[in-house]
Structure 1
Amino acid sequence: MNADSQGMPAALDEDQVGLVVEVFRMLADATRVRVLWALVDRELSVNDLAGCVGKPATSVSQHLAKLRMARLVRTRRAGTTIFYSLENDHVRQLVLDAVYNAEHAGPGVPAHHRGDAGVREIARHHEAAGE
């Protein structure tokens, strides 16, 4: 392997490392992961999110406050209702990648690959072979 720094990313400064650690800390909670997953392609109110994740609205609201402080979600007010959505496409991609990566740890073909015709053919081959 080439030991020079060509093609290598620049080192992260301590402040940036701290921010990255905080993002991962926010992802280290099952309820917050469920909340972020529910927001991948839509915006929802606290009550709607509570229904999606099966937790009381007060608990979800506390998680949302943390996610908002970490700049992972944003709000939009419509009358008296506040709607939450993911802060940006980077957060969306981070959530998708985390879930998709976790799917690879399980048996069989990950759900996110099942729409791919080539992957479906490989899965059929494995099923036919009794694997």
Structure 2
Amino acid sequence: MDTAAAILALLADRTRLALLQQLTEGEADVTTLTEACGAARPSVSQHLAKLRLAGLVATRKDGRRMVYMLKHGHLGRLVNEALNAADHQIGHLPPHD
């Protein structure tokens, strides 16, 4: 329960959620992630470091660039489900299973 709560706490930040959502679409470098989430580059780097330390994202070197990716598909599904739940709440859509 503690680990699950810690993961959900990391997702509770708008910037981190935006970064993770972008990574559900595939690998990306810091420049791409900065443009996608609209935050300042130093902020994006700090959030990515937190996600990496938590074991939620992995990295690989591509020349001089550091490329980020989700560590596992479970996280991508969790992010997508959270965003779908938000869409339902905002759009007042009927519940479903």
Q: Normalising by structure 1, what TM-score?
A: 0.67
From 48, 51, 68, give the equivalent of 1:64: 48
Please give the alpha-carbon distance, in whole angstroms, between the structure 2 residues aligned to 1:86 and 1:109. 29
Equivalent-residue separation in structure 2 for 1:101 and 1:108 (angstroms): 10
Question: Would you identify which runs of 4 or more consecutive aligned residues in structure 1 move more than 2 Å?
Answer: 107-110
Q: Deviations over 1:9-47 (max 9, x none)?
A: xxxxxxxx2111110110110000110011112111111
- Quick check: which has more Rg, 1 or 2? 1
**1:77: Cα distance to partner?**
0.8
**Equivalent residue letter for 1:61:** S
Residue type of the alignment partner of 2:31 = N
Identical amino acids, percent of aligned pairs: 38
What RMSD, in angstroms, separates the aligned Cα atoms of the two structures? 1.4
Are residue 106 (structure 1) and residue 85 (structure 2) matched?
A: no
Q: How does 1:62-101 map to 2 (within 5 A)?
A: 62-101=46-85
Higher helix share: 2
| Structure 2 gap segments, 5+ residues each | none
Paired positions, count? 94
Normalising by structure 2, report the TM-score: 0.90
2:90 aligned counterpart, secondary structure: coil
Match of 2:33 among 37, 49, 71: 49
- Partner residue, 1:113: none
Distance (Å, rounded) in 2 between the aligned partners of 1:62 and 1:55: 11
Ranges in structure 1 where 5+ consecutive residues have no aligned partner:
1-16, 111-131
Whole-angstrom CA distance in 1 between matches of 2:78 and 2:55: 13
